A and B are shown apart, each in its own frame.
Chain A
Amino acid sequence: MSAALRSPLDSYLTQVSNRLGMATKALSVVAMVFAQLALGLTILAGLKWRKLL
């Protein structure tokens, strides 16, 4: 079925899905940045002895 023939509900759900995908992507980037930062701080400033990590 072509996009033009989809029901309004299908069209709406597609748009919601796209927005959700974009939000998830943005949040993933933020989470990755903070995870690296936390790991770096733990290694450099949290413990003197890395074996304990």
Chain B
Amino acid sequence: MEVDVAILSGYVLAMVFLVATIVITMCDSLRKRDGAGGEG
């Protein structure tokens, strides 16, 4: 049983984008919090 790479890449790309969005958002929040702390 072999699933076409072009099919698997769709699912992989979806996961990559989802994880990247979450990571970018969390990093952004941390950066803002640190920035606010530094200013304070």
* A and B found bound together: no
The interface of chain B, by Cβ under 8 A from chain A, is none
The interface of chain A, by Cβ under 8 A from chain B, is none
